Structure 1
């Protein structure tokens, strides 16, 4: 009598994969957004009291951008660990590092208490945040895509990407709540003494609760089948960094520039627009003078579209390919950058101004979702299993220096240079999108790549005969 063996159960269930990849990146992006919001609202006053608003803001954004410099270092360290020891351990360590650094920012003394040591400590903790995020994203993307069913990698790859909009909503929703409980008695454009004294610390301290939840989920993971197969085959390399630079340098360069427009757009839509939108209309440089609470609510509405189109982009990328989708959305981002001055300009009718800004935010965040969603699959697909963590992490995080680290600083400088106009800022975005478009055109479609290839040698064996 013959019996048929039951099909093997997946090492990680679909629910566990989605939850583990989504929860971790939500926490990581929450921590980053909390800092980004504080960098606009309170850090210029509490940690960089230079006497000049623009100088203080630039100093605050410089520390914000410093984390992006630490991210490639984290990518190398966590990538090495992830490609040699596995994805699970790396994800737990990166989450702990990020959570501890964020919590400590919440208890830091300010400049008035300890002088120059305060911004120095803030910089150290910000670097720790960047170091942790350098390993987080790639690990989460690999957990999702290495456990994805056939022809659904881009769809599964959107779940870690969803951490960005969800983290934004949680972080800014918490800031809104605190601001509502501790309002300024006279001016809605300013923060109250209670908010500046202790209210701003609450979101940083709250991250400890989220980290505990994230650790509980991730500790239940088992290693991905792709990594286990590579390990059994003896394909694990002792030097992932050297291997990826030796055999996959072209993919590194293309992956870095494919991410560029995404990063520039991301930080312009979150950090710069918050600065510009809430800056007083009679300030130097001039802003729109929209109250902070109102503007953040407008941003949250835009971020809802970010989340929706992040999810939509996955099935579309699985259907038509990553390359065709990114060619289209990168072209649209070029056009969007050229329209900044049509949306972001003070007008006599406040309601009309608000309507234009809301339309601008919805459009920008929609484009953000379409371009960001496929990255969870595309960047890992550029590399074989034994250097997938290192390769995708370096490409993703080196791009953060070229895009995210510079974007807020360059945008503020261009805004000031143009006497409050934003056309130069939009031109900057269009230029970044052109570079991304070139990189996409030079790259190959990865939709049907064999994700089980363990090493460079496997790739060579599977190359089509000429």
Structure 2
């Protein structure tokens, strides 16, 4: 009696598994990013210098990016050797547990320096998990995609980024609103700083359970099964990648660079700049109140040396503006898939990267306080919408392009390493560099925009040297030729 054929993944299951998983992973990541701006500088990195506290918080945030390539190597190895499903489940569990435990951590005031140390360890675990998540989800989507629709299917794991952002910030917003400051609902209350910030971290456990239920129902793609049957699977996929596909690694890393820098400027830096007081008097009063709340002496000289003006929006107002922008991020992520399938990934990305260069040079046109606050609000909202539109259009095709640079037997390792090494060059340092450049010119954002444009130029050059991958045949490119040489 012949054995029954292996079950196939229904298209709805493929889309759901890739979308739900990355939504949860990015939700966990953004919960930390939001807390890194709102509460961690005060609770884990207290200092008489607000900028130093913020930079310390950003440094731990960026440390996770260093762990991401390690996760890419580890999860990529097992994903290319044993299959995509198990690694996707493992990455989701790792991220979920680390995020949940952050919600239980004692603060600096309770256990001194041990608190930021534990936060760093858990942040590294988050980065390690995300290092394996994205590529696995992108491969599940693209290796199960119908012919001619790989970029369309590959845009669904990318959609997890805007959805995760909206859910994470929406929960923070709801909690902050439910626990208002007695003098101003837009300010963070004592209850929010005491326990309210923990709720989004603890809530991740519910989302992880849902994600696991979906992913455990997946089966391996026909492409990976064919690679197994033909003997293309290698003992050390990493060695094959570096020996035979190092050019693709370099190109893929720089292709992602502008995307990373743009995203973290649009989320972390704009939240910091947008919610910082626009005049010295208001900021001084806020700093004095914060000093009194923590039992410290307010030093006007130290404050003047480290203060740089922002746009002066309340936290609630600015996050709502960001969420409106992120809606456009999601819409343009989905729109980019069919466009990339029609005209090619390279052509679309060359155009949008050129627009990112121009956008970076326009920061001072949008992000300076105006005489009329209504104009400041309108210009800032337009800035966020334009920036997130560009973000969606550049991020969407990456779900197809990076995997298409590599053959099946090293596709997980290759795409994961390129994607996550780029996170060090872009996301890990972007918030830190942005704050430093912002301070270097006395609080104006134009130099931050020049930084973005410079990174986009590097991406543009990488795209020029990258061939079009639209017609890359997964079934024929299993990696047998390179495997035979090892």
TM over 0.5: yes
Contact 1:67–1:130 (Cα < 8 Å) also in 2: yes
Q: Secondary structure of the equivalent of 1:452? A: coil
1:306-325 aligned at under 5 Å gives the runs 306-325=329-348
Match of 1:210 in 2: 207
**Alpha-carbon deviation of 1:188?**
4.7
Q: Secondary structure of the equivalent of 1:237? A: coil
Query: Cα deviation per residue 1:231-285 (whole Å; 9 max; x = unaligned)?
Result: 0111100011111000000000000000000000000001100000001112411
Match of 2:299 in 1: none
Match of 2:296 in 1: none
Count of residues in Structure 1 that have an aligned counterpart in Structure 2: 454
Match of 1:353 in 2: 376
Q: 1:393 aligns with which of 390, 412, 416?
A: 416
Aligned counterparts of 1:36 and 1:345: Cα–Cα separation in 2: 24
Aligned counterparts of 1:139 and 1:27: Cα–Cα separation in 2: 14
Match of 1:232 in 2: 229
**Alpha-carbon deviation of 1:456?**
3.5
Aligned counterparts of 2:315 and 2:367: Cα–Cα separation in 1: 16
Match of 2:455 in 1: 432
Q: Secondary structure of the equivalent of 1:311? A: helix
Aligned counterparts of 1:443 and 1:10: Cα–Cα separation in 2: 36
Query: Cα deviation per residue 1:301-323 (whole Å; 9 max; x = unaligned)?
Result: 00000000000000000000000
Is 1:66 equivalent to 2:89 in the alignment?
no
**Alpha-carbon deviation of 1:404?**
0.3
Is 1:143 equivalent to 2:140 in the alignment?
yes
Contact 1:453–1:459 (Cα < 8 Å) also in 2: no
Aligned counterparts of 1:319 and 1:410: Cα–Cα separation in 2: 37
Q: Secondary structure of the equivalent of 1:347? A: coil
Contact 2:360–2:449 (Cα < 8 Å) also in 1: yes
**Alpha-carbon deviation of 1:185?**
1.5
1:3-402 aligned at under 5 Å gives the runs 11-188=8-185, 190-282=187-279, 283=283, 284-402=307-425
Query: Cα deviation per residue 1:209-242 (whole Å; 9 max; x = unaligned)?
Result: 0000000000000011111000011110001111
Match of 2:294 in 1: none
Q: Secondary structure of the equivalent of 1:89? A: helix
**Alpha-carbon deviation of 1:457?**
3.6
Across the aligned residues of Structure 1 and Structure 2, the Cα RMSD in angstroms comes to 1.3
**Alpha-carbon deviation of 1:373?**
0.1
Question: What residue ranges of structure 1 are gaps of 5+ in the alignment?
Answer: 1-7, 462-466
Contact 1:151–1:318 (Cα < 8 Å) also in 2: yes
Query: Cα deviation per residue 1:46-102 (whole Å; 9 max; x = unaligned)?
Result: 000011100000000000000000000000000001000100000000000000000
Contact 2:70–2:128 (Cα < 8 Å) also in 1: yes
CA 428–278 in structure 1, closer or farther in 2 if over 3 Å, else same = same
Q: Secondary structure of the equivalent of 1:288? A: coil
Contact 1:285–1:416 (Cα < 8 Å) also in 2: yes
CA 458–149 in structure 1, closer or farther in 2 if over 3 Å, else same = farther
Aligned counterparts of 2:377 and 2:188: Cα–Cα separation in 1: 21
Match of 1:464 in 2: none
Aligned counterparts of 1:238 and 1:141: Cα–Cα separation in 2: 23
**Alpha-carbon deviation of 1:187?**
3.6
Aligned counterparts of 1:189 and 1:29: Cα–Cα separation in 2: 26
Contact 2:223–2:408 (Cα < 8 Å) also in 1: yes
Contact 1:276–1:287 (Cα < 8 Å) also in 2: yes
Q: 1:449 aligns with which of 429, 449, 472?
A: 472
**Alpha-carbon deviation of 1:332?**
0.2
Q: Secondary structure of the equivalent of 1:342? A: helix
Contact 1:268–1:407 (Cα < 8 Å) also in 2: yes
Aligned counterparts of 1:263 and 1:424: Cα–Cα separation in 2: 18
Query: Cα deviation per residue 1:327-359 (whole Å; 9 max; x = unaligned)?
Result: 000000000000001100011211110000000
Q: Secondary structure of the equivalent of 1:69? A: helix
Contact 1:248–1:383 (Cα < 8 Å) also in 2: yes
TM-score (norm 2): 0.92
**Alpha-carbon deviation of 1:453?**
3.4
Aligned counterparts of 2:385 and 2:359: Cα–Cα separation in 1: 12
Contact 1:384–1:452 (Cα < 8 Å) also in 2: no
Contact 2:223–2:475 (Cα < 8 Å) also in 1: yes
Match of 1:3 in 2: none
